[in-house]
Structure 1
Amino acid sequence: MRYACVFAHPDDEMRCLGTLLRLHEQGHEIAFVTLTGGDKGLPFSGPDSHERAVAVREAEIRTVAKAFDASYLCLGREDGFLYDDEPLRHDLIAALRTVDPEVIFTHWTNDYNADHVVTAKAVVDTALWTNLGSFEPHVPANDHVPRIFHVDTGAGYGFEATHFVELTAGHVARKAELIRAHASQMDVMRHLRGHDYADEMADSDRVTGARLMVAHAEGFRPCLAERRIPWPSDLPGRPAHASPAGRKGTA
């Protein structure tokens, strides 16, 4: 199957990286799409850093994409000023047709970052038009509407996971390595919080895993909009070596 991560910024894929690793191991195809280039991602580097930030962050996300033998496509909107307008919808329909996913991972519909909220809404809405040739007729229509999962946005925004993917110790370690490929953003988070995103995601995955009596897991919510509802089987099942239910020994 073909999966696409459609997020606002390079590095937003960190919230489903463990699941992507499991899907990649199973031979599924993966693509990465961002709506912005993350040009405000070097906030302590002065007012002339925007173009440099785009170059730095593109190199970082391409390093992550390479680990999945994946493509990367950026719509080039301005970081922090993303709006759900007509041009964005035209471009996003074309982008989704280009990568042609059967399943999309994207943001939750409520989030701390307005770019994330705009992205979630735009993805849910434009996905419906990817198989209708009257929309963006210059790009061949797909033969299906992609199904959508929302990634866990963290506490405080009404996200309650309903679907879960268990991660092994190997997935957790590799996930941290890939998150730290976004070195520029790790520096920002260490400056702001004293730890980086890899530490933060490991803590979050540990909390989610504890709910399932396993060491680590990622949580998702399905889109419930008609024709975009995913199947539970679109996510990986338990690892083959998983511990019996109720034992918290799985790494």
Structure 2
Amino acid sequence: MNVVCVFAHQDDEMRCAGTLLRLREAGHALALVCVTLGDKGLAFDTAVGYDAATEIRDREIRSVAASLGASYRCLGREDGFLADDAALRHDLITTLRELRADLVFTHWTSDYNDDHVVTAKAVTDAALFTTIASIRPDVAALERVPGIFYTHPGEGYGFEATHFVQLSSDHHAEKTRLIRLHRSQMDVMRRMRGHDYADEMAAEDRRQGGRLMVEYAEAFRPCLAERRVPWPTCLPGPLPGEEDGL
């Protein structure tokens, strides 16, 4: 199975990084796609220009991709000003086809960041076009629309999880390490909130795990917006030895 993560920025994959680790363990191919350059990501450092910020964030996400054994590509849009237009949809259709996507992770359709919202909507719509051969006939159409899972955006955005992936303590530790490869964003987060994203994700994964009476879990809900999008049933199940606990 080809698993493709399509997010707005270089660190958004943290919302499903533990699940990606489990999918990698099961032998599935992983790809990370960022829609924007992340050029506004060094929010409090006016001495660092947008080009330098882009280079820093590109280096960080490539470190994550290498650790996951994933491919990486960026669609090159300006951070903070993403628009759902024909060019973006064509790029997403092409990308999903070239990666032969079977399963897609992306943002929830309501969020604090409009880049996230635009990405979620554009990915959903582009996925529906991946099987229509007359659209972008230069790239072979998919035989089936990929399944889509939306990741948890945090509280307050109308997200109610329906699917969960259990994580072991080893998965949690590796997820924490991967998140902190985005060193520039950890510094931004500590300045904003007094802790970093890895701390925030650990608390969230414990909370979701508590719903299942396990230590850690990540939360999702499938896209059911259109009948051509299949109900995704391919998330990893309980960890070995804990099948009766979920």
Shorter-chain TM band: over 0.9
1:45, distance to aligned residue in structure 2 (A)? 1.8
Which position in structure 2 is the counterpart of 1:249? none
2:169 is matched with which residue? 169
- Separation in 2, partners of 1:7, 1:162: 21
**Partner Cα distance (1:42, 1:131) in 2:** 38
Partner of 1:195: 195
The answer to whether the 8 A contact 1:208-1:216 is kept is yes
CA offsets per residue over residues 141-192 of structure 1, 9 Å max, x none? 2222111000001100000100000110000000000000000000000111
Separation in 2, partners of 1:117, 1:216: 27
Q: SS of 2:245's equivalent?
A: coil
| Aligned 8 A contact 2:17 2:175 in 1 | yes
Q: Does 2:210 align with 1:230?
A: no
1:84-123 matches, cutoff 5 A:
84-123=84-123
Stretches of structure 1 lacking an aligned partner (at least 5 in a row): 247-251
Structure-to-structure mapping, 1:118-197, within 5 angstroms = 118-197=118-197
Tell me how far 1:209 sits from its aligned partner.
Answer: 0.6
Q: Normalising by structure 2, what TM-score?
A: 0.96
What is the SS of the residue equivalent to 1:219?
Answer: strand
Partner of 1:14: 14
Distance 2:47 2:110 in 1: 30
Distance 1:237 1:76 in 2: 35
How does the TM-score come out when normalised to structure 1?
A: 0.95
* 1:90 alignment partner, SS class: helix
Secondary structure of residue in 2 paired with 1:117: helix
2:43 partner letter: P
Deviation of 1:48 after TM superposition, in Å, equals 5.2
The aligned amino acid for 2:231 is P
Compute the displacement of 1:47 (Å): 6.5
**Contact 2:7/2:35 (8 A) holds in 1:** yes
Secondary structure (helix, strand or coil) at the match of 1:35 reads strand
Contact 1:210 1:216 in 2 (8 A): yes
CA distance in 1, matches of 2:244, 2:95: 42
Cα gap change, 1:243 to 1:104, in 2 (>3 Å): closer
Instruction: Give 1:229 shift.
Output: 3.0
The one-letter code of the counterpart of 1:239 is L
Deviation at 1:23, TM superposition (A): 0.6
In the aligned structure 2, how far is the partner of 1:245 from the partner of 1:239? 10
Residue 58 of structure 2 aligns with an amino acid whose one-letter code is: E
The residue identity in structure 1 corresponding to 2:228 is: R
Identity of aligned residues (%): 58
Contact 1:39 1:79 in 2 (8 A): yes
Taking the aligned partners of 2:243 and 2:29, their CA distance within structure 1 comes to 28
Question: Could you tell me which residue of structure 1 aligns to residue 83 of structure 2?
Answer: 83
Cα RMSD, aligned residues only: 1.3
Does structure 2 conserve the Cα–Cα contact (< 8 Å) formed by 1:149 and 1:230? no
Distance 1:8 1:163 in 2: 22
Aligned length: 245
Alpha-carbon shift at residue 244 of structure 1 (Å): 4.7
